[in-house]
Chains A and B, each alone.
Chain A
């Protein structure tokens, strides 16, 4: 069944779901939620089927490829395809969507706005997430990259917290500025390319001849857009607002998946399309990402608002991911890709459990909590596991990726790796301090009546914790898929791993 348009189908199912949910009568809220969950589960099943057919040693870079002419005058094709990197990110997105839908079950009930709208937007967002990771045409990628802002904007702006309108506009403006710079670069790329009706296909753009100046300009156009999206310090200031004001489900998809489009874009487009400019920019990017790692972690320690704290931890983690990508070693890049997935799951767990906590007490401030582990042990325990994964405790998923990134970086940029390691220490501070302040001690008058996780919430948390633990012990299936894709990227950039000072034993690479 290789001819079956798997990826298009995978994208169409959530779109159909969004339309169906939007068309249901407003009074049938429960039905709308069930339908939305159903559609997202169908997509998940489809992704699993896709992943099982994926051949990690396949000769072609992109599998399940589909290419049709779209706007030949601009050299634009409708082209989809996945390599290992895209596949794991799509898998992460399709796992997180049903989890978020289930987690958001009652989040919008009290709202004046229709609940079905929220679930329709989540499904619409899922379509764009699948599309953006699967696009192998730069123009199509750009279109989805920008169009994705719209559902997210409405999720934050319509269903968010008190400052939602400010946060939504800030999110949108930052992203639009980045997006439009990228548009300028996309146009420049088109004009510089060989032209023709398929000019924008990734394969056709590889190795385009361009002058050093043009290449750097185009690289910057793409990179700044991705750096805003990721977000990389100092372009990060929109994220804490957007993530804190967004409803928990939206925050998970925003931080867990949407922001990954930035780092995905760097590894998929920036490096292979502009290899020389990427190497030219490497020192600057590495510096920024190391600053981001420490800055995000330090600010996270100082936060009083749980959701903002988690958002700042993500800024620190994105520093690691970008560091791994630009270290230009296969370990660094494989680690960064794995980090994208692991960060998605651990941040999702943190955001969602924090969301459950907030929905019980009605406050996002850390000081309003205390002693929760006495009254709600399951809630506290899962929060701890998610937090420990976030600080990269060995045995939990983030550890593998963080260590890979650091090893990969060390082999080329020792100082940067050493400083970045400081981020791990800070990470244990911010996570454990938050845990201590909210969960340990005597229950306060507000938390003493707090209920533990109910069945629905347990079903939300269980798969995330299971994945975190499973990937912590056995990341091999993911790495098997990621490694060939990373090797190909390294080849396209034209870099090789540095020779180790002491020749390592055979098979040292994970």
Chain B
């Protein structure tokens, strides 16, 4: 008792800049309110209220991000950085989360929505059957999503490694749960959830071990402190290199880069499709944000050491993603491998550390920021389209079932083709502009070989995207093939947002590129 009091006396109260932290505080606040709503709101109104609250919260948080623009400093006693990359990525995550949440809230394509009536009930148990018969579905997905989004907002903004670890766990734990909540094929979904959890825990251990070693090296977990130690060349270099390596492994796992990618296809396939889309987009954004900050701020002085490693990982990731995607027969697994390949393309941009643009912007950072935005919106849209192609057993994800889809629903086929063209990097889609940005950053960073390999891998990747297009447009439809369900406005809006951004950033990318350029400087 006494010791507690003395400690409190010595302990300096951390300053909390509520204004600078407002985006995260709003989202966490909404998440907590969502939990309370789940407990006290009468069931018939819960779904609509939760949805409205979540979207309103995201919009409010986005508004506060916009108000903070240009106002860069560190907050919460230096553990949170509010700077260009952080705000840009927070804004991106919030905007992507809106179509993500909308697609998640869809209840028309499958009676009761895509989620299990109650996550805690055993699949096939009497309790579950009762809930299905009563048409009751719990709505805890909304607070879970909001917690995950909150963690994602904090992750790229963390200025010390412990905060980053906390953010990592805050974003991961709800996602593990969400992955296991699919209404159909629940066992597959729960398997995905368990796999994700186990491998995620494993990678967290790597991350934490890396943090410990870096603390041993620099005597601080603050990124600026580590950077100082690196530049003064003090301390034990073995600790520094091992710590950096372990930390990077933990982050590359979240990014889905090879050889730490093996969870991606299983989890993407098993998770409820709107969650897959949300996860594929927003987690990638947040994790790349954190990776950028660690590599550029924390161990930027070590660029000579880590650049070749990232080179290798980028090549491996592009290769594994593009080549293995060729062999997939399930659309969700194919998109999973495609997301691995895209992680590789993004990593090529990261290599351009010393590429500086005309206005002094760091091209390595700005091109990655831009790529993340384009990829995220296209991904959410593409997965939302996947939710609509269904037969009696739920979503028809086997590629053979997509044959002749253009005959059944030309509009959906054209929209999906557009997303695939963006993934393949065809000009006049956002994917092309983004590829141009990362490749030109890499070239300017003297990574020409990487650019050429990247270009060849893009051609390989294009092959499997176009295989799906061939299937949809040029193949005869199977007689008992799936149909395309007409969704409620929620999914329609989600797909429309994805497609609109994909087109807009393909044709008029100037504004977002400029923003990414302005946002490319870190505070330290």
Contacts and interface: CB of A to CB of B under 8 A. Distances in A.
A19 to B, nearest CB: 14
Given A73-B510, A187-B440, A191-B443, A158 B474 contact: yes
B166 to A, nearest CB: 36
A180 B455 contact: yes
Given A71-B510, A147-B426, A147-B427, A184 B462 contact: no
Interface string B409-425: 00000000000010011
Contacts of B437: 74
Contacts of A70: 510
Nearest to A154: B473
Interface stretch (A43-51, A168-176, A298-306): A168-176
Interface string B189-206: 000000000000000000
A143 B510 contact: no
Interface in B12-36: none
Contact of A146 (B426, B433, B467): B426
B358 A196 contact: yes
A195 B470 contact: no
B383 to A, nearest CB: 23
Interface stretch (B44-52, B180-188, B444-452): B444-452
B513 interface: yes
B455 A195 contact: no
B436 interface: yes
A157 B466 CA distance: 11
A365 interface: no
A188 B443 contact: yes
Contacts of A150: 421, 426
Q: Give the size category of A's interface with B.
A: 35 or more
Contacts of A184: 439, 451-452, 455
B410 to A, nearest CB: 9
Contacts of B510: 70-73
A190 interface: yes
Chain B, interface SS category: helix
Chain A, interface SS category: helix
B474 A168 contact: yes
Nearest to B429: A147
A255 interface: no
Interface in A194-221: 195-197, 217
Contacts of B456: 177, 180
Contacts of B150: none
Q: Which of A147, A157, A173, A191 has the most CB of B within 10 A?
A: A191
B156 interface: no
Given A150-B421, A184-B451, A73 B458 contact: no
Contact of B459 (A154, A168, A176, A196): A176
A187 B433 contact: no
A169 B432 CA distance: 20
A70 B443 CA distance: 22
Q: Which of B427, B451, B452, B509 has the most CB of A within 10 A?
A: B427
A470 B509 CA distance: 47
A432 to B, nearest CB: 37
A183 interface: yes
Nearest to A186: B436
Contact of B513 (A73, A154, A176): A73
Q: Which of A71, A74, A164, A187 has the most CB of B within 10 A?
A: A187
A413 interface: no
Contact of B439 (A73, A142, A157, A187): A187
13 contacts: A71-B509, A71-B510, A74-B437, A147-B426, A150-B426, A165-B470, A165-B474, A173-B463, A176-B424, A176-B459, A180-B425, A180-B459, A191-B444
Interface of A: 70-74, 142-144, 146-147, 149-150, 154, 157-158, 164-165, 168-169, 172-173, 176-177, 180-181, 183-184, 187-188, 190-191, 195-197, 217
Interface of B: 357-358, 421, 424-428, 432-433, 435-437, 439-440, 443-444, 448, 451-452, 455-456, 458-459, 462-463, 466-467, 470, 473-475, 509-510, 513-514, 517
Given A73-B517, A172-B466, A173-B459, 20 more contacts: A71-B433, A72-B510, A73-B357, A143-B428, A143-B432, A147-B428, A149-B426, A168-B474, A169-B470, A173-B466, A176-B424, A177-B456, A180-B425, A180-B462, A183-B435, A184-B439, A184-B452, A187-B436, A191-B440, A191-B444
